[in-house]
Every structure is written in C-alpha cells, then in structure tokens.
Amino acid sequence: MFMKKVLVVSFLFFFLPHICSSQTNSTDTVKSLTEVIVRAYEQNRSLIEVAAPVAITGQAQLNRFSSISILPAVNITPGVSMEERSPGSYRLSIRGSSLRSPFGVRDVKIYLNDIPLTDPSGNTYLNQLSFYNFNSIEIIKGPASSLYGAGIGGAMLIHTLPVIWENGISLAYSKGSFNTNNINAIIKTGDADRGNSFNYSHQTSDGYRQQAQMRRDIGTWESVLKASDKQTLHAYMSYSDLYYQTPGGLTLAQYNANPKQARPGSGSQPGAVQNKAAIYQKTFLTGFSNEYHFNDNWQNTTSLYGSYTDFTNPGIRVYEYRKEPHFGGRSVIQYKKQMGQTLLQFNFGAEAQQGFFNTRDYGNKLGIADSLQSDDNINLWQYMVFGQMDLKLPKGWIITTGASLNKSSLEFINLSAKPSTSQTRVFKNKIPPHLAVLKKINKTVSVYGSIARGFSTPTSSELLRSDGTLGTNLQPEDGMDYEVGTRGSALDNKLYFDMNVFYFDLKNTIVQRIDTNGVYYYVNAGSTKQKGIETYVSYQLVDKPQQIFSTAKIWISYAWHDFHYGSFKQLTADYSKNEMPGAAPQVIVAGFDASTKGGGYLNITYNYTDKIALNDANTSYASSYSLLGARLGYKNVLHRKLKGEIFAGADNIFNTKYSLGNDINAAAGRYYNAAPGRNFYAGVIFKFGRS
C-alpha cells in the first residue's frame, strides 16, 4: 500500500509542477555523447575521436533506475552483461568473458580513478563499492592488454568525482521490495582545487530467495589538492563491510517447483540453509595519485595503492578463510608535441602489483569450520611496461599504435604438508599489440578499424590441481580481435549512433579435465570463434527547455553475438562448433526518457534477452525473457540552498520468471539462480549547498 501511494504522488508531481512556476528550475542540458571527454587509452579525447569500442555510463543512465545497484545501467551497453546471483553477488561479462568465472569478476581489468581495483590474481571485488561511488564509467570492450594488462574481456574505468565540484551535503533514502533499505550521506567541502568528499552508504535487504539476506556498509574519503598550476594530488580511502548469504544454484526441477528456495541438501550433504552459506567480506583500500605537468609537452601521473581483504565463506562443501593483502602502482609519462597540422602524443609507463595471500579450507559442519583440509600461502606478483603512440593527422585521420610487455609469477606454499612444499610458475614475454586507425568523415561522424591481441593468465585455482600438485604446462589464453565501427550524430545532433562489428579468435582456451583417479585439473584444449554486431542509437524527440514538456528521447541498444567453440574436446566428448555457454545470442534494451519544465521526469526501460546455453554440450538452456521497468519522479529547488527529489519505480512489471547469473557447467545441472519477480522502490533525495 505504501508503494502504491508513493507511485500516485510521484505521478501527480510529474504533471503538476508547471502550475507552480515560482518553484521551477530549468532542465539540465544533456551534452551530446560525441563531445564527452573520455580517458580510455590515456587519450583524454572526445568520444568521436577514440578508435575503439568504448562506452560511457554516466549520471543520466545511472539515475534512471533504482539506487540499489549499477547493474541495469551497465547492461544498457551492448555486449556487456552484469549479473546478480543474489543481492551483493555480482558477475561482469564483456562479450562472453565470464566463461571461466563461476562467480565474481575476472578477465576484465578494473581501475578506480588511477588505482588498479583488480588484484594481482585477476579478481575484482566490485561489490566493495556502493551505487553512490560511481559518478561515471568507461567500458572498453575487447582486449585492452596494450595498456591495461591481462584480460580478454576488456577494461572498466570508474570515476568517482564529478567534473564540476558542488560542495554541500546530500542525503538519500530509498526503500524497496524484499525489505530493501538504502541510506547514503555525502559531505563535500572546499572547491575543485582544494576539496574533500566524505561518503557513507548503508544497505540491507532480505533478498528475493531463501538464504539471500544482505548487509553492506561502505565509507569513503577523497581529497583533491591543486598544489600549483603544475601539480594536482588526489587521495582516496575506503572501508567496506559486506555480508551476504548465498542460496546456491538449483536444478531445473527445483527451479520449476519453487524458484525462491535455496539449494536443498543432497544425500548426506546439507543444503545452503543448513550450512549457513554466506560471505563475510571486509576490504580496506587506500590510494594516492599525483599528476605533474613539467611543461607544455611533458606530464606524469603516478598512483600508488594498498589493499587488504578479509574474506570468509562458509560454503556448501567447505568453510574458506582468505587473507589478501596486496599493493601496487602505476605510472604514465605523456609527451605531446604539435608539429604543424600534426599532433604527436606518446604515452609510456609501467604498472606493478604484488600480493601475499593465505587461503585455508575447512570442512563446513552446519555453518561451523571443522577439520582443516588445506592451508596455502599464495605469493603473486606481476608487472607490465607499455607504450603507445598517437598521431592526429590533417584531414581527420588519427592513428594509434601500442604494445606492452607483461610478466607474472605465482608461488604456492603448501603449509599443510610436513615439511611444507613450494611450487612456482612464471608467465612472461606476452607482448599484446594494438593498432587502430580512425577517420573523421565530418565534425560529428567518424569511422574506425582496429586490431588488438589479448591474453589471460591462468588463475591460482586453475594452476593448482585438486591433488595439491601444480600444473606445469598450462599456458595463458591468447586471442586476436578485429573491429570496425562508426559513431557520431546527425539531424542537428538529434540522432546519435554508435555501431561496431567484431571478430575475436581465442586460442589455448582453458578447460577442465578429470583423470581416472578423480583428480581435477586444467589444460589448454580448445578455441572459440566469437563474432558480433553491437549497436546503440538514440533520438531526441523534444529538446525545448521553456516548454512544459521540455525533453523526450527514445533509444535502443542491440547486441547480436555468434559465439561458438572452434576445436574443443573434453575427454571423449567433442564439443567443437557448439554454442559457447553463458552468452545470449541477442540482447535488446530500449528506453524512453522524458522530463517537464517543472522538474518531473519519466524513464521507461524494456529488456529482451535471448535463451542462453548453460553447458558445453548444449543440452540445457535458460529460457529467453522480457522485462519492463519504469521510474517516475520530481526534482526541484525547494529553497535557495536546498534541492529536493522524490521518485518511485517498478522493475520486472511483467512479473517474468527468469534466471540471472546462471552457474555455467554446474555439477548435477544446478544452473539456475532465480531473479526477483515484480518489485517496487521509492526514495527521496535532499541536497544542501551553495546557491
């Protein structure tokens, strides 16, 4: 009843504000995406001049959904899929990169401002950030190894601070279905030259499945200091305390009988509820960066960071403890020189990370750690040196070429053995090149083509066989990506488009084997052929700030992916030419956005996702599904120093039954993780600041 009342009130706010003209404020002007400056590949250029499949997720996309998660906003980008297996448990895939990721984020390198958020093992705790830590996101689709290291999926660059500094206090509260509550407070002091930002978020939810409760507390502090006209310092510190239960995957029969249930027990093995399956994750991160301009030609940006994660996971079968301290840094030197009508730019630098991890596995006896099964120290380090040259030539030509040299090492120390044993693997001399050419057809349209190589080193769990020995022959996955694309605007900037076609050929695909003694291990025994078309188009129907209905826009995002195995055999089974599991052949996301002069707004989103293969044999599929969501709200200046906003919305209005975050190639066919049905949310935001 509360949610229905809020929806009615918000509906009235959408249509009535123009009556109260004394309280109206002008509609924000939306800058054309072609003019947005992106930092991808260290180029700091407008998007139209970037010869790569780069997508931007900004405030307009983030704020058209609830403030619970960035998931729906990220999924607007064609070719990108963010999944939620249960509240707080995320998985990110770019062009099917999650094939080897049963959970979490792998094969995508993620940076928080200038700090590597991805740890030395290749894992990223993206759930250590709240919705309010994201100001904008740049996503590079496809291999970005020439500047960002290992990862065949791509890279994500997260920016936490807005371009325009607004000091003051912001308070936000939202409530939703499943007893979901979200509280956020932001305090900003100073200005863009000497500013501090304090951010605290508290989020709780009972979850939409059994054994799916979640609680998350995140506090951050950021400081920006412009020490001089040449030097700017940036400090970042955060602490996150996250707890979420893990209901586990269901078989098709269990999913059809009761999709909300947690994984039940099997034989003598207790289920998720009995074993109190959950994750307790505490992460402390601190980083510092320094940008220094020596003169008009030379500048340097150097960042250093340290992080510590305390990870406890009473799972279905084992009770795991992980201690993961690591540190690292990145330094980029840039040289720019204008030579007549040609602009030359060099970027070269290095990145290094080192971690000292400890993992202990115990038996899980009804949620209590039982006998010790394994105790391993894992020492990891990796470094890369990279270089890139950009030539901005006359007549709209831009050429980019770059490469990096990478080396990584993993040392396993088995503390359970008496005496302890040590094993080491070193991967080196991977040189992924990148070549791109762009041509500006006119001031608002460009076309480009690129060739890039990517690689992905084996994870520690893939290198270590289940009998405790280290795999000696496992090599990194290695692939070549070929892209052509175009982006720009037309019809007086009313029409925006971004389209690309790609072909990715992956070699040395890592697959699992089981020997006659039941020992699990991994080998390079496959290849994949991945081709696709990705398109985003928007059209501005109305852009008249002084009219009652001031803006209206429609947009559509479409991805067609034809992902198949090349040569792929597993023991006696031949999966060659089979559809690659985990990636939908077609995904359509479309929307309508409108606002009034008085401050009312409406966002409607439709999502269609094709059926998804769930195993290598292609004998099981997750059904296709269609979703409809909407957000309605009103924002206005309540006082000279006070702005307010009220909003309400609904997701999965069709009440579609579907599985999100499927467990690919899961044992006993436990593929399915039910997503929430029809659900609602509402919230308020107050901002106090200078007029």
d(CA 309, CA 467): 27
6, containing H or E segment: helix 2-15
Please compute the mean of the pLDDT values over residues 515-524 and round it to a whole number: 64
Phi-psi region of 429 (alpha: psi -120 to 50; beta: other; left: phi over 0): left
Q: For residue 507, what are the CA distances in angstroms to 152, 529, 566?
A: 11, 9, 9
Helix (H, G, I), strand (E, B) or coil at 196: strand
HSE-up (13 A, CA, CB side) for residue 142: 31
Question: 676-690: per-residue pLDDT in tens?
Answer: 999 999 999 999 986
Question: 313-329: per-residue pLDDT in tens?
Answer: 999 888 999 999 999 99
Read off the CATH number of the domain in which 115 is found: 2.40.170.20
Task: Give the model's confidence band at 33: pLDDT under 50 very low, under 70 low, under 90 confident, else very high.
Answer: low
Instruction: List Cβ neighbours of 56 (8 Å cut-off, separation of 6 or more).
Output: 33, 36, 38, 47, 136, 137, 138, 139
Buried-exposed string 401-437: b where 16+ CB fall within 10 A, e elsewhere: bbbbebebbbbbbbeeeeeeeebebebeebebebbbb
DSSP codes, 266-327: BTTB--TTTTT-EEEEEEEEEEEEEEEE-SSSEEEEEEEEEEEEEEEEE-SSEEEEEEEEEE
Q: For residue 352, what are the CA distances in angstroms to 115, 330, 385?
A: 11, 7, 9
Helix (H, G, I), strand (E, B) or coil at 458: coil
480 pLDDT above the threshold of 60: yes
Please provide the average confidence, as pLDDT, over all residues in the chain.
89
28 pLDDT above the threshold of 70: no
d(CA 79, CA 4): 35
Task: Give the model's confidence band at 600: pLDDT under 50 very low, under 70 low, under 90 confident, else very high.
Answer: very high
151 pLDDT above the threshold of 90: no
Residue scoring higher pLDDT (564 or 461): 564
Q: Please, are residues 481 and 452 in contact by the beta-carbon 8 Å criterion?
A: yes
Q: Is 344 exposed, middle or buried (0-12, 13-18, 19+ CB in 10 A)?
A: middle
Q: Please, are residues 106 and 98 in contact by the beta-carbon 8 Å criterion?
A: yes
26 pLDDT above the threshold of 70: no
Min mean pLDDT across 125-139, 177-191, 453-467 is at 453-467
Beta-strand pair 621-622/612-613: antiparallel
Quote the pLDDT of residue 520. 61
Quote the pLDDT of residue 149. 84
Cis, bond preceding 120 (omega within 30 deg of 0):
no
Q: Please, are residues 286 and 304 in contact by the beta-carbon 8 Å criterion?
A: no
Helix (H, G, I), strand (E, B) or coil at 659: strand
50 pLDDT above the threshold of 90: yes
Beta-strand pair 477-490/586-596: unpaired
Q: Please, are residues 676 and 657 in contact by the beta-carbon 8 Å criterion?
A: no
The percentage of the chain sitting over the pLDDT mark of 90, rounded to a whole number, equals 69
Q: Please, are residues 68 and 682 in contact by the beta-carbon 8 Å criterion?
A: no
Task: Give the model's confidence band at 515: pLDDT under 50 very low, under 70 low, under 90 confident, else very high.
Answer: low
Question: 543-553: per-residue pLDDT in tens?
Answer: 998 899 999 99
Phi-psi region of 168 (alpha: psi -120 to 50; beta: other; left: phi over 0): left
Find how far residue 542's CA is from the centre of its chain.
32
516 pLDDT above the threshold of 70: no
d(CA 99, CA 96): 6
Q: How many domains does the chain have?
A: 1
59, containing H or E segment: helix 59-62
According to DSSP, residue 66 is labeled -
d(CA 186, CA 602): 25
Amino acid 531 reads K
517 pLDDT above the threshold of 70: no
Q: Give the predicted TM-score (pTM) of the model.
A: 0.92
Integer Rg of the chain from CA: 25
Q: Please, are residues 137 and 158 in contact by the beta-carbon 8 Å criterion?
A: yes
Q: Please, are residues 124 and 110 in contact by the beta-carbon 8 Å criterion?
A: yes
Q: Please, are residues 311 and 326 in contact by the beta-carbon 8 Å criterion?
A: no
Min mean pLDDT across 123-132, 180-189, 209-218 is at 123-132
- Backbone phi, then psi, for 33, in 5-degree steps? -60, -25
Min mean pLDDT across 187-196, 344-353, 612-621, 661-670 is at 661-670
Question: 346-388: per-residue pLDDT in tens?
Answer: 999 999 999 999 999 999 999 999 999 889 999 999 999 999 9
Min mean pLDDT across 256-260, 416-420, 447-451, 626-630 is at 416-420
Residue numbers of the domain that contains 198? 2-689
d(CA 679, CA 65): 13
- Backbone phi, then psi, for 49, in 5-degree steps? -105, 15
Structure token pair of residue 633: 């709200």
92 pLDDT above the threshold of 80: yes
d(CA 449, CA 440): 12
Residue scoring higher pLDDT (236 or 85): 236
